[in-house]
Chains A and B, each alone.
Chain A
Amino acid sequence: MRHIISILMENESGALSRVAGLFSARGYNIESLAVAPTEDPTISRMTLVTNGSEEVVEQITKQLNKLIDVIKLSDLTEGEHIEREMMLIKVKAVGEMREEIKRLADIFHGRIIDVTETTYTIEWTGSGNKSDALIEALGGTTILETVRTGVSGISRGEKCLRM
């Protein structure tokens, strides 16, 4: 099953490589990983999407907790949560395709944020799995570049992951 794990960790050089190293050394897979400092610059928040059986995910959270730089973590998928991913996608846009792409972007609530005579760049934000749907829908056009931030997530309601 797919799990979204949110991690608060010391904003130290090397902290990221400890997480990445743990996943490669133990053969866990990372679908995406997004990390940046929080309102407290000494703390980073990482959102990690992984796949695995319940036993594997239990081991993953235990092993992550064991890392000395990890302050706290939570498996967002255990409760109600919101996930978002941002994607920038540059496509070839010429002739009648320009209209078609514009229409597609609208349907997906994407915005065209950069325009040239031959290209469009679409900015899109949504929940992780929908980004694949957009990419698929754009299949008829030539995709020049796809840039995804990876999923970030947060619990719904008053539940918080904080110090």
Chain B
Amino acid sequence: MELTGAEIVIRCLKDEGVEFLFGYPGGAVLHIYDAIYQQDDVKHILVRHEQGATHAADGYARSTGNPGVVLVTSGPGATNAVTGIATAYLDSIPMVVLTGQVPTSLIGNDAFQEVDSVGITRPCVKHNFLVKDVKDLALTIKKAFYVATTGRPGPVVVDIPKDVTAHKTEYEYPDKIEMRSYDPTVKSHTGEIKRAVEMILSAQKPMIYTGGGVVLGNGSEILTELTRYLGYPITNTLMGLGAYPASDKQFLGMLGMHGTYEANMGMHHCDVLIAIGARFDDRVTGNIDKFCPDAKIIHIDIDPSSISKNVKVDVPIVGEVDPVLRDILGLLKEGKSKPDKTAIEQWWKQIEEWRSTNCLKFETNDEIIKPQQVLTELYKITNGEAYVTSDVGQHQMWSAQYYGFEKPRQWVNSGGLGTMGFGLPAAMGVQLAHPDKTVCCVTGEASIQMCIQELATCKQYNLPLKIILLNNRYMGMVRQWQEFFYERRYSQSYMETLPDFARLAESYGHVGMNIEKPADVEGALKEAMGMKDQLVFMNFLTDQKENVYPMIPAGAGLNEMILI
């Protein structure tokens, strides 16, 4: 039977197993919205801004591993989605974004609501397509899902002109697909794996450093097994938190600009660095010339272009994290040699000494709420089991430092692009995917205002998020930099004329709370977590001048941290 392009779009999503479609209607996608109306296989989530749609789809993807799917109209719909597409791109999140386009006959005419969506999104997608003929539609959507979810994942845009959604053709959705120009399967070199094993065993002061790739590649289980087998210390990047249980004694915490003393010192002094699914980002390495001066480096990554991009490595292994780590562990167990026990014990002694500085300690008082206190309480009250999303700023770093993530995909944040406005919509996606779980969004009073309109979406779909606003009345992270590096000239970083957040939340139909005293933190969190069916917006008035420590200033090496 012949279907219209619009019907084909929806059938493709259904056949692809898509649960939720995050979207916002408009002229160019009206045919598709009509097709949505006439089915209930794919559930459409109506957001309040296209940026919200992309972040929600992204949060869904990060917390499940399945691709997030978005539908927006042409022109402003597409441009509003760009921030979310770029956010997903920098963190390698699988996403398929369908954008409406003006009819093919009008393309290039500066038609109403026309932008070159393929051109605008090109630098921030894994790939994009413009569909010119309805006959290519199903195949293109299949390709989009295939490209988005395989290899190093990423967002893919499919731009669909309005007339293509009206034209009819036979529907056929391929089960499998091959593209001659794209082969995501990689088989790693046994030779390199052997060399890696030798190097791992030769280490006197080893460090395991892992990133978001381990989460994305579902490599957490084997990583944990391997790390425990070796008995080596491990640190995670901001994106990699949860891939190794934070409560484990081999875990040194996060590394990098706001990493722990023990993790950064361990990095700086190690002699063998085992980097897994991490990309040597500048926020992790600090000054690249001072990075791991004595280390031989093994780098395992699915993307060859990540290897030796910023830091030259000694043993490059291109491959999927899970099979590569399995091969390594297999060889280790087969072989006669074992890690150098005495050397490793010595190394741990040194690490424990660093650890004893207790770099994340903080002081509480009776007067003013410390943000770290809120997160520590939150961890206790949720048994460390909540999904936590965050926005960008100090609160993000405190979440990463003080909420010990035990499981991968539990921690959802915009690491690469650092997009304020991410937290709330991302939490919606997480909650939709995990309706029975506690989902918290830790945010700042500046960030939350960037996508606050999504509180209405939360009401419409009964998403009982717990929003933890650490309200310091400053763009805290900006203020911190101004305090340290601009002689306290707090240029434009004070948040004037804030709304009454609790009442604002109430006006959207949610529960609002104001918490001003340290003694009330625990009670308020407990009360909020008890309201299982309601979104609770907790406005914590926190210490205005609290800073994130430790900190590595720009240009410094990992051993040159500012402690408190």
- A residues in contact (CB < 8 Å) with B: 9-10, 13-14, 17-18, 21, 25, 55, 58-59, 62-63, 65-66, 68-71, 163
**B488 contacts the other chain (Cβ, under 8 Å)?**
no
Tell me the B263-312 residues at the A interface (CB within 8 Å): 303-305, 308-309, 312
- The answer to whether B304 and A68 have CB atoms under 8 Å apart is no
- The answer to whether B147 and A68 have CB atoms under 8 Å apart is yes
For A58, the chain B residues whose CB sits under 8 A away are 308
Nearest-CB distance from B298 to chain A (Å)? 18
For A70, the chain B residues whose CB sits under 8 A away are 181
- The answer to whether B181 and A14 have CB atoms under 8 Å apart is no
For A65, the chain B residues whose CB sits under 8 A away are 304-305
For B127, the chain A residues whose CB sits under 8 A away are 68
For B179, the chain A residues whose CB sits under 8 A away are 68
Nearest-CB distance from A22 to chain B (Å)? 8
Q: A-B pairs with CB below 8 Å: how many? A: 36
Q: Smallest CB-CB separation from B183: which chain A residue?
A: A71
Q: How far is B122's CA from A52's CA once the two chains are assembled, in angstroms?
A: 25
| Contact A14 to B304, CB < 8 A, known contacts A25-B123, A69-B181 | no
Q: How far is B127's CA from A68's CA once the two chains are assembled, in angstroms?
A: 7
Q: Which of A55, A63, A66, A163 contacts B180 (CB 8 A)?
A: A163
For A10, the chain B residues whose CB sits under 8 A away are 181
Nearest-CB distance from B305 to chain A (Å)? 4
11 extra interchain contacts, Cβ-Cβ under 8 A, other than A55-B312, A66-B303, A69-B181?
A: A9-B181, A13-B130, A17-B119, A17-B122, A18-B122, A55-B308, A59-B309, A62-B304, A65-B304, A66-B305, A68-B179
Q: How far is B151's CA from A66's CA once the two chains are assembled, in angstroms?
A: 10
Shortest Cβ-Cβ A-B pairs, 4 listed: A62-B305, A68-B127, A71-B181, A68-B182
Interface centre among B179, B180, B303 (most CB of A within 10 A): B180
Interface size for chain B: under 10, 10 to 19, 20 to 34, or 35 or more residues? 10 to 19
Q: How far is B181's CA from A9's CA once the two chains are assembled, in angstroms?
A: 7
For A21, the chain B residues whose CB sits under 8 A away are 122-123
Q: Smallest CB-CB separation from A42: which chain B residue?
A: B180
- B residues in contact (CB < 8 Å) with A: 118-119, 122-123, 126-127, 130, 147, 179-182, 303-305, 308-309, 312
Interface centre among B123, B147, B181, B182 (most CB of A within 10 A): B181
Q: How far is B298's CA from A127's CA once the two chains are assembled, in angstroms?
A: 42
For A163, the chain B residues whose CB sits under 8 A away are 180
- The answer to whether A63 and B305 have CB atoms under 8 Å apart is yes
Q: How far is B181's CA from A163's CA once the two chains are assembled, in angstroms?
A: 10
Q: Smallest CB-CB separation from A8: which chain B residue?
A: B181
For B118, the chain A residues whose CB sits under 8 A away are 14
Nearest-CB distance from B201 to chain A (Å)? 29
For A14, the chain B residues whose CB sits under 8 A away are 118, 122, 130
Q: How far is B305's CA from A63's CA once the two chains are assembled, in angstroms?
A: 6
Nearest-CB distance from B473 to chain A (Å)? 38
Q: How far is B119's CA from A17's CA once the two chains are assembled, in angstroms?
A: 9
Q: How far is B318's CA from A65's CA once the two chains are assembled, in angstroms?
A: 14
Nearest-CB distance from B383 to chain A (Å)? 41
Nearest-CB distance from A18 to chain B (Å)? 6
Q: Smallest CB-CB separation from A10: which chain B residue?
A: B181
For A9, the chain B residues whose CB sits under 8 A away are 181
Q: Smallest CB-CB separation from A15: which chain B residue?
A: B181
Q: How far is B182's CA from A163's CA once the two chains are assembled, in angstroms?
A: 13
Q: Smallest CB-CB separation from B307: which chain A residue?
A: A62
For A17, the chain B residues whose CB sits under 8 A away are 119, 122
Q: Which of B123, B181, B305, B309 contacts A68 (CB 8 A)?
A: B181
